[in-house]
Every structure is written in C-alpha cells, then in structure tokens.
Structure 1
C-alpha cells in the first residue's frame, strides 16, 4: 500500500473511531462489607457526573443505611430505591436500573449494600443484564472500595472470582487507612488484580471534622463548597474542593467515564460461574 492510501486508511479509521458513540455507564459502588468508605465514594462518583454535565440517575441499593439517597434527595424522590435479593421471585427488581439507562439514555450510579454478592449473582442469572448491556452500548463497572485490611481483601477476592471475568473492576484504595503493607504484598490479592487487569486508584482521605459535618448536615458535595457554619468556613470549603479535584482526576484516569472511547468489555453470556 502506498503512503497516500495508507494515510487515507488511517484518516478513515480515525473518522470511524470519532463517530462511535461514547458508551453509557452503569457504575456499581461496592466494598463487600460495611465501613470501607463505599458511600463516601459513591457520592463523589455521582457528583462527578453532575459536575461534568453527564446525564445520570442515582440508585440506592443500601436500604439499611441509605446515605446516598438521604443526601442526594432526587434519588429518593424519583423512587430509585433498589432491593437486591437472592429470592428468584424478587431477583429481577434491579432490572429497573438497566431499563432506565436504556430508555432514558442516561448513565447510572448505584450504591450497593454490603454482602450483596449472592444477590447480585442471582440478578445476573435470571436477567439478561450482560447481553442487553452489550447490545445497547452500556459498560458495567464495579468500583470496589478497599481498606487494605485482610477482610477487605477477602471481599475483593470473592467479587473478582465471581464477576471479574464479566464486569471490569476498579480497585479504590481508601487512603483514610494508612497501612497498606498487607494488601500490597499479599500475593493472592495482587495476582487476582493482575489476572483481571483491574485499574487501581486512590481515594483521598478527608478530615474527620469536615466529613462529619457533611454527614450531620446532610450536605451534597456541591453544597459543601459553599456551606458555612461552626468549624466550617473558607478553609474547609477549599479542602472539599481539593478532594473533588483529586478524586475526579483519579476517576478519569481509569478511562471508565463518558467520552473516553472505552471499548465495551465483559462477557455477553449472561451467566456467572
């Protein structure tokens, strides 16, 4: 092929790539157990979509501690509470997520409850979630928050063994925890991360006083940028702004965001092993 034809082919290929629509994303925020910072992260991820102007619907799956919908009230007002169940008669309830994304052409951010693996697996078994996602240009992503401790690593092992071949995982290291010597040196954990080609990002820590104020006052992160109260003024606002900036950069570094030319990945067989 001569250089002119080669250049034309490259231009055509580039044009095709530009013409491909950006996938929609269904983001599952999880951690396998409580107390790892999952709800802290899911609100940051949802706020990212809002701040970037990407169409998004939030879904609250943690009915016991609904911090996500409790702070972002539009989720509750929309009736976007989701119950994940191992009962086959109730296991299709999360179909609401996929139906909304397909019908409304929006992204989704879902707060999963603790100990949801078996119910999540049942949902994939009884509903054509993977096939429909692939057919409609939807990328499923599990954002798995870890603390670096043994039990947190074990929860990650379970999720990767059940779903790692079906749904890409992003490992979110909650830097509120300072000691990562076990997690980073554990051969089984690191082997699974490599096997499933997981992206790994850091979730910056937030001052306990600021984090506590945000929860107590039920502040959205955009509200936390302007809120003023006792022990919460311009310096605290600036700290939240820095948190958002750092977290957004980490999220974007994964490529699992709209307009990032992500190739839809994951099996389309609709079954987990």
Structure 2
C-alpha cells in the first residue's frame, strides 16, 4: 500500500502547520515509521521543527518542477508520507493526482495507492466552500478528514445550515475530528524557542513554566485522541503498508 497524507486547508492561517507538527509528533511518540515532505516554499516551518526524514518539493505549474513532485509517490512506496501543503495549491495538487492517474487506474490498483486529505477548516464560509470543492472534485475516491480547528472557531452549530455538506459527508463517509486549541502564549514560546512538542513537555525541560507545560500536555492528549479517532494513523494501519523492493521503485 502506498499511503499519501496531505495536510490541506487551501487558505493560509487555517492551522495546517500546527496540525502537521502534532501529527508528526504523534507518529514519533508511537514509533510509527514515516516520511515527511515539506512543500511550503514561503514558510517551511514544519520542516524546520522536524528535519529528520524531511524532504522538500514544491508544486509548480512549470513542467520541469512538476516532475520533482513525483518524489512524494516514490517515497510512499516505502513508507507512509505526510505532505504539508502551502496555501493556494489546490489546482496543482489535484492536477498531479489526476494527471498521474493515482486514483481509478491500473497503477493505483497495482500499488494500492491510498490518498488521504486532512482538511483544516476555520469554520468560515470560504473555508467550508473550499472543503465542499474538494469533496465534489474527488467524489469519495480519496479519504477526506474534516478537521475542525477549535482554536479558530469554538461554535460549529452553523454547519447545520450547509445541507450539501451534510449530504456529501454522509455519501462519502467523511471522517470528522476536532483539533483542540493551543493558547497563543504557549504557541509563541514553543515557536520562539524552536521546540518540538516532545522537548516542550519533557519533564526535565526548563523551556516552559510548569503550568504552561501542563497546558501543552493537555492539548497534546486531546489532539492525539482526535488523531486516533480516525483510525488512519495507527500501528495496524501502517503495518498494512507493503514495502516495495528498491529495484521496483521508479
């Protein structure tokens, strides 16, 4: 199985980087083997926090550059890959997936390509519309996870007004989780000191005040519960990933 996990949201400032950092830390804590691709050219902050096994490729409309993105697929043949997407790359990512026949094709079946999109939503109308757009585009052929960013919106009752969203979520079995809020003070301290979450909450760490550290611990517990709820990032799910011999990888 070739597993590709896109961390998306299309807009800037929706929480993609923070969620991606938590997701990578989760995999490290659970000792899950993975590769990471940083594709944010202007702010590659996730790769700066987690440089090990980090690769950089950038989606581009230039034909020469577009071939470089194929690294994502090649890496996925060996280990599940997480890709941190920048803002406003939806057309290019979609063209890459469809142009290379990674769904509904012989190559997709041969390598059992599984594509997941973790979509960070702010709760705003534009954000919801962008999520509807990707659901309509792929029609259930890739797995979508609707990630409610509770740090940007703490009341989601208005989703009931989006009939099409409810219909498509049910039709395509869309997973839904809540990503908890991390207070700006703790976030700023962690970012300023360039800490991984593991370093920030380590018992002997002096980087954060005691209560700040405890708030980060609570945040991580909630975030990990949300990730586990999907069933997509587990030992069992990753063990299903078949290792392809090197001479079979293009």
Per the TM superposition, whether the score is higher than 0.5 is yes
Does the 8 Å contact 2:37/2:81 carry over to 1? Answer: yes
Q: 1:146 aligns with which of 102, 112, 121?
A: 121
1:188-267 aligned within 5 A: 188-226=164-202, 227-229=205-207, 232-260=208-236
Q: Is the 8 A contact 2:102 2:113 kept in 1?
A: no
Match runs of 1:111-190 below 5 Å: 111-130=84-103, 131=105, 132-176=107-151, 177-190=153-166
C-alpha contact 1:25 1:258 (8 A) present in aligned 2: no
**How far is the alpha carbon of 1:95 from its aligned partner?**
1.2
Distance 1:138 1:66, change over 3 A: same
In the alignment, is residue 33 of structure 1 matched against residue 11 of structure 2?
A: yes
Q: Give the gaps of 5 or more residues in structure 2.
A: 241-250
Structure 2: distance between partners of 1:259 and 1:133:
23
SS of aligned partner of 1:120:
helix
CA distance in 2: counterparts of 1:28 and 1:164, whole angstroms: 17
Task: Give the equivalent residue in structure 1 for 2:79.
Answer: 106
Aligned to 2:34: 56
1:136, distance to aligned residue in structure 2 (A): 2.8
- The 3 A distance-change label for structure 1 pair 133 and 210 is farther
Give, in angstroms, the shift of residue 182 of structure 1.
2.5
Aligned pairs for 1:86-105 within 5 A: 86-102=61-77, 105=78
Deviations 1:16-60 (A, max 9, x none): xxxxxxx56321101010111111101111111111111111110
Q: TM-score, normalised by structure 1?
A: 0.78
SS in 2 for 1:26: strand
Q: CA deviation at 1:117?
A: 1.2
Q: CA deviation at 1:81?
A: 0.8
Aligned length: 234
CA deviations on 1:126-164 (whole Å, 9 max, x unpaired) are 324335454334432100010111011011011111224
Q: Distance in 1 between matches of 2:51 and 2:234?
A: 24
What TM-score, normalized to structure 2? 0.85
Alpha-carbon contact 1:204-1:246 (below 8 Å) kept: yes
Q: Which has the larger radius of gyration?
A: 1
Looking at structure 1, the residues matched to 18 and 161 of structure 2 have their Cα atoms a distance apart, in angstroms, of 26
